[in-house]
A and B are shown apart, each in its own frame.
Chain A
Amino acid sequence: MRAFVPILIVVAAFAAVPLFVHSNVVLNFLVVTLLIGLAGQGWNILGGYGGQYSFGQAAFFGTGAYATAILQVHYGVNAWIGFAAGIAAGAAVGAIIGALAFRAGLRSSYFALVTLAFAEVLRIVASVTPITGAGVGLLVRLDLRAQAFQFQSRAIFYLVILGFVAVSLVIAQLLERSRFGAWLIAVRENEDAAMALGVDAFAVKLAAMVVSAAITAAAGCFYVQYFLFVDSGIAYGTWISIEALLTPIIGGVGTVFGALAGALVVKFLGEGIKLVTGDVPGLDLMIYGAVLVLVIRFAPRGLVGAFADMRAHLARRAKLRAPIGEVARG
């Protein structure tokens, strides 16, 4: 189980943070960062490992958020059960969209388009139906008890989201070492060749989509518990679809830590911008858009990929500098 040691180290390091950091501002920042990292890992499972780029992760985030909010606000359901139901609801939506899209053989741009369209439909519907609070949104009643999945201390929220992120890291690691993962990656690289080798591409993509949706939905549920408010723009808005795909792209698609690394970069960038210019609407997303373009242009494999490329590059240069005989032997 040596493969899981890096995860252990990273999670332990993050877990130690509240011991030294007591500022609510910083903890809040970290909570949001981990939240985005979790949503991003969801995208990464289907997009990074599976190569199917969804432009509509909001559909799952929002479903998770609304499911848990509606159950608590309208039906008095326990928050923990609501959370689980939210994940299940998100996964179900993933299954439906995935089944429809993959059964129709949609790939690449068409798949991206259809996921975008589904998210938009959900957003518009949510903005007018009464149960979601229509234009006003839903407020979850403040109830600072563990049973209500609300905590007085931000540090506890932080540890909870860290727990979810840890699970998502483990899922990615397990994926990489499993047959399912090998199949999923094969489908990403070349779907026809994979099918010729016995991979049921439809089933594999669908399963990946369900896992992806569940993880992103979990992020949505957590959002509601933390901020106690949701409306159609927050739940199904393009902001979360963008951030969920931006973080793994920047951090490194198809890697275990890519989404987390990317989330740190994106959020630090966001905070940095706010420090310099104040909280001006549009500026942060504008920078994110620019970053996305720049990353694809100059470092399409993201930070982790660029790091690996750099190491390989340095290794090659070292080889070239060595005397001829050594190169032949090396």
Chain B
Amino acid sequence: MHGYEFYIDPSRCIGCQSCVKACEECETHRGKSMINFDFIERGSTTATAAYVCWHCDEPTCAMACPADAIKKGDDGIVQSSLKPRCIGCSNCVLACPFGIPKIFPELEQMMKCDMCYDRTSIGKRPLCATVCPSQALSYVRPEELARRREKPTNVFYFGKQKITTRVHMMTPPGTDTVSLDVLDYMWEEKYVAAAQPE
């Protein structure tokens, strides 16, 4: 918006959680951070990654919502759930391929990142991108990325489903899409191997 785009580079994340703390400062959801912060494999590595909502072009969360509470506006931002409509059913939590929406059972409400709409709609940066010291989360003009070796992509494949997003992921050069098949990460091979006749 206003010529800026959001870029996420997980390889730059140093795990300082400044984004988490900065997001909590927002008045509309004070104390609750909308950043999805992952310890990737805590037992064996210090690698971390921070994600915000990817604002998909055809948002799965919105399409799965039974209360029609999630809307995508003209500017491409998928808003957080509408307070009068959300019934806290967690359908969106289950539907989102990136695992972004957070359910707050005490409020019976889902809340998620809306790219600091109160800031980005008037040309300011989202808080997380403003405070990230390594610019793992960055909100810049596309030209400024030319200096980086990684290239942005916004096409994801989850199994056979293609998802295009507003937020870009920085990937090694030559990678056009990010493909993920959940089955690849399941450990049923162990059982399949065990079930094979000797």
Physical interaction between A and B: no
